[in-house]
Structure 1
Amino acid sequence: MGKKRLEDALTKTNENVKVVYRSFQLDPTLPKDINMSLSEAIAKKYGISIEQSKANNENIKKMALEVGLDFQLDTLILTNTFDAHRLTMLAKKHGLMNEMTDRLLHAYYTESKHIGDHQTLVELAKEIGLDEDEVKKMLSSNDMAEEVQADQQEASELGIRSIPFFLINRKYTITGAQPTETFVQAIEEIAKQDGPFTEITDEGVTCDENGCEIPKK
Structure 2
Amino acid sequence: MERDAGYNIYEKLASKYGMSLDQAKTNCQNMERMAQEIGLDFRFDTQILTNTFDAHRLVMFAKEHGKIHEMTDRLLRAYYTEGKHIGNHESLETLAEEVGLDRGSVATMLASNEFGNIVRQDEKEAERYGIRSIPFFLVNQKYAITGAQSTDVFVQSLEQIIEQDGLFVEQTGASCDDQGCELPEK
With normalisation by structure 2, the TM-score equals 0.79
Judge which range, 173-182 or 134-143, deviates more: 173-182
Contact 2:137 2:144 in 1 (8 A): yes
- Aligned mates of 1:34, 1:177 — CA distance in 2: 23
Aligned pair partner of 1:101 in 72, 78, 81 = 72
SS at match of 2:45: coil
Of all paired residues, the percent bearing the same amino acid is 51
- Deviation at 1:36? 1.3
**Alignment CA distance shift 1:72-1:132 (3 Å):** same
Find out whether 1:115 has 2:86 as its counterpart: yes
| Backbone CA RMSD of aligned residues | 2.5
Q: 2:131 aligns with which of 123, 143, 160?
A: 160
Q: CA deviation at 1:179?
A: 4.3
Would you say 1:83 and 2:54 are equivalent positions? yes
Which of 132, 135, 142 is matched with 2:103 structurally? 132
AA aligned to 2:2 is P
Letter of the structure 1 residue corresponding to residue 168 of structure 2? Q
2:137 match: secondary structure = strand
User: Aligned residues, how many?
Assistant: 169
Pair 1:165–1:94, CA change in 2 (3 A): same
Instruction: Report the counterpart of residue 148 of structure 2 in structure 1.
Output: 177
* Larger RCO, structures 1/2 (Cα 8 Å, 6+ apart): 1
Could you tell me the TM-score, scaled by structure 1's length?
Answer: 0.69
Considering fraction of residues, name the structure with more helix. 2
Q: CA deviation at 1:180?
A: 4.4
Which residue is equivalent to 2:32?
61
C-alpha distance after superposition, 1:137-195 (max 9, x if no partner): 01000000000001111111122222211234655543333444646984995784226
After TM superposition, give the deviation of residue 70 of structure 1 in Å.
1.0
Q: How far off its partner does 1:42 sit?
A: 2.0
Counterpart in 1 of 2:179? Answer: none
